[in-house]
Amino acid sequence: PFQVVGGKVKKPGKRGRKPAKIDLKAKLERSRQSARECRARKKLRYQYLEELVSSRERAICALREELEMYKQWCMAMDQGKIPSEIKALLTGEEQGKVQQNSTKLAKAAKTEANSSNP
């Protein structure tokens, strides 16, 4: 009734792996653990996306403010008035201050662009 193949004793009958008797409680616990991990991953993903959205919204607000400032400057120049900020730029008095503001905005926009690549 037993066969010897390659130094191993084989029992006659069905070939292949026998279905292991999996403990039902262990299987349910593994399923629950998997579900918990899935929910945790989902929560982290949503937190990341919410932070990304809020940072983009902040960048948009900063850019809108900058655009509004430039519009005001243009409207003033159309009326023949030269805004003090532009006078300062032309004379070079407050050039550092204005450059710092525009540099901050540019850095914020670059940071937002870089953070969009996870």
**Phi, psi (rounded to 5 degrees) for 97:** -65, -45
Structure tokens, 71: 């519009």
Q: What are 32-77's pLDDT values in tens digits?
A: 999 999 999 999 999 999 999 999 999 999 999 999 999 999 999 9
The residues near 89 (Cβ < 8 Å, ≥ 6 apart) are 95, 98
Domain boundaries, the chain: 24-91
Share of the chain above pLDDT 70, in %: 59
Q: How far apart are CA 12 and CA 82, in angstroms?
A: 100
CB 16 within 8 A of CB 8: no
